[in-house]
Amino acid sequence: MASEQELKKPNPLHKEFQNLLEEDFKDRKLKENQIIKATVTEITKNFIVVDCKAKMEGMIPVEEFRNDDELSKLKVGSTIDVYLERIESFKGEIIISRDKARKMKAWKKMEKVFETQEELTGYITGKVKGGFIATVEGLPCFMPSSQIDVRPLKKVDHLMNTPVKVIATRIDKNRGNVCVSRRAVLEKSKNAEIIEALKNIKEGDIVENAIVKATTDWGIFLDINGVDALLHVSDLSHGRVKKPSDLVTIGQKLKVKITKIDEKTNRVSASIKALTEDPFDNIEKKYKVGEIYEGVVSKIMDYGAFISIDSNVEGLCHSSEMDWTNRNVKPGKIFSVSQKVKFKIVSIDKETKRISLSYKGTLPNPWEKIKDQVGKEVKIKINNITDKAIFGELTETGLTGMLHYKEISYLENIDDLKKFKKNDVLSVKIIEIKDDKIRFSKRALEKDPLDWFNDNNKKTGDIITTRIHEVLKTGVKVTIDKEKKLIVTIKKGDLAKESVDARPEVFSPGNALDAKITELDLTTRKVKLSVKAAQIDEEKSLIAKFGEGATKSGVTLKGIFEKAIGSKKKKKK
């Protein structure tokens, strides 16, 4: 048995083995987080054993080799790329990954092909919200649903786990996300075919056998020698077309004219109406503005009716041109589709290809009957009563006009509206006809209370005697005429010269009150009275007759008159 001292002595064999290991590891330059080369040494049921020239062999799960059928091609001695995560774990094992190596390599390649838009082969392996997962070079990428084909697909089962060509459309380095598109590859291929096919057609060509592929509400898709073309609904006919599907069927052959080829988008536009003469070219020779013709109602809208006046020529009769008495009439109450009607042409616009028609222009104009009736008495039937006016219909012509509450009586009291109800018949006078609007007046049939001033030869500056009609907080209302139809408000500040005397409560209805006419405008019906101004004028008159002392404090009107009478007696003696 070896002694303790012998065991402590270094074994020359151990020293030699250590030197050999150090010499071997000196040539192995392994760095973590990099892709390295590894040699397959053993293939088991669950793991692939590889030599990475490390202290020990590495083991990779077989699941990381099942993409792209790599496992079936793998054999002992094969060299593969692996990603070195850790040279030595806490268990002393080397941590490597074939999947991460493939993804890192694919990411570097993806960055290059993203710039060049090179096509790559990928596999659609699963479906997620908004799209699919496509594995490209071992890198999971997102493919939006709109990018799987040039047209929406109901089923994609035939594309799952099969090789498809894709192009990288977006790369997010920070998040490590890549978006790919199969549609871009298909469009690229399709565009190449279209460019080649477009060499055989040009603008202005007439194609005899354009095939109808599909129809929509706004046009027809055609196949012209392998090129998709659009025949817009506006290019089907010079007239109005409701639905293209009513005119054509899928697979039908049409004769069209190529009207436009967009070199940037390779889109082709075709037209049928370009093959026929535009009926608007000589429209003015056939139809004259102001003349009456006959047509057929083709379409009714909320705002008017379209009337077919000739083959492929329509005009619009707006609702305002249907009835003389109602500008907002509903077209459906006047016309029906396929009805034959007479109309007058109002205007023709060749540039916009619009014709304005009038139905009421063929009917007697009631406005002509009343244009000379301004100032005449008429009868109206009340149709409606609003907050401030009455709307009535002339019993003779059916035209509607307005009777404002201020025109009911000269008192201009809004409560007068309550005296009337719908369907009442009133006698009124037409006071204005302007812009197809009529204004009525009921008070115009009566004598104007303001005529009192002319009848009594009263003007601004005159002093008149009034009667208190009503006492207000802000003044008083007074009547000027005996009939009490001429009522004027005197404000509180005009009730007396002295402010202390200007109190409305000291007056009572029926009291006489002298006031001066300070403003009188019969045109604007403005009358202003002032008791204060009358007192000031009276004071000036006293001063002129009896001197300055006549207005001093303590002097009574009796003393002034006695003094005046006494002076007169002395003169007589």
* pLDDT for 100: 80
H helix intervals, 37-125: 70-73, 98-116
Q: What span, in angstroms and rounded, lies between the C-alpha atoms of 420 and 391?
A: 11
Domains for the chain: give ranges and CATH numbers: 24-101 (2.40.50.140), 117-188 (2.40.50.140), 200-275 (2.40.50.140), 287-362 (2.40.50.140), 366-445 (2.40.50.140), 451-546 (2.40.50.140)
* pLDDT for 552: 52
Q: What span, in angstroms and rounded, lies between the C-alpha atoms of 530 and 249?
A: 90
* pLDDT for 9: 56
How many C-beta neighbours within 10 Å does residue 194 have? 16
537: left (phi over 0), alpha (psi -120 to 50) or beta: alpha
Instruction: Give the pTM.
Output: 0.46
* pLDDT tens, residue by residue, 415-436: 999 999 999 999 999 999 888 8
* pLDDT for 572: 47
Query: What is 490-539 written as a DSSP string?
Result: EEGGGS-SSTTT--GGG--TT-EEEEEEEEEETTTTEEEEEHHHHHHHHH
* pLDDT for 442: 92
10-residue mean pLDDT profile of the chain (573 residues): values are 52 64 58 80 85 79 73 81 77 78 78 82 89 84 89 85 89 82 84 70 83 86 82 80 81 87 78 82 86 92 91 89 86 92 92 90 86 88 92 88 90 89 92 88 87 88 90 91 86 86 87 90 88 87 69 48 51 47
Give the chain's radius of gyration (CA, Å).
53
* pLDDT for 413: 87
Q: Which residues contact 309 (CB under 8 A, 6 or more apart)?
A: 287, 293, 295, 315, 343, 355, 357
Mean pLDDT, the chain, rounded, equals 82
* pLDDT for 13: 64
